[in-house]
Amino acid sequence: MHLPTDEVWTRAGEYLVNTLNGLPTTPHYEVEATLVVRESTGPAPVI
């Protein structure tokens, strides 16, 4: 999986600063995630 780490850490920092200052926070954000296909990526096992 690839996540936009800059955006994730920026949102986390904003949440922390706002919480410590008693300001309203948004507890959930959606970020774009993509699957990065590599050697360990494979089909699901057949049951």
**Secondary structure letter of residue 45 according to DSSP:** P
pLDDT band at 44 (very low <50, low <70, confident <90, very high): confident
pTM of the model: 0.65
Specify if 3 maps to a domain.
Answer: yes
Question: How many other CB atoms sit within 10 Å of the CB of residue 11?
Answer: 15
CB 8 within 8 A of CB 33: no
- Domain membership of residue 26 as a residue range: 1-36
Specify if 47 maps to a domain.
Answer: no
The number of distinct structural domains making up the chain is: 1
Per-residue confidence (pLDDT) for residue 18, from 0 to 100: 96
Specify if 27 maps to a domain.
Answer: yes
Specify if 4 maps to a domain.
Answer: yes
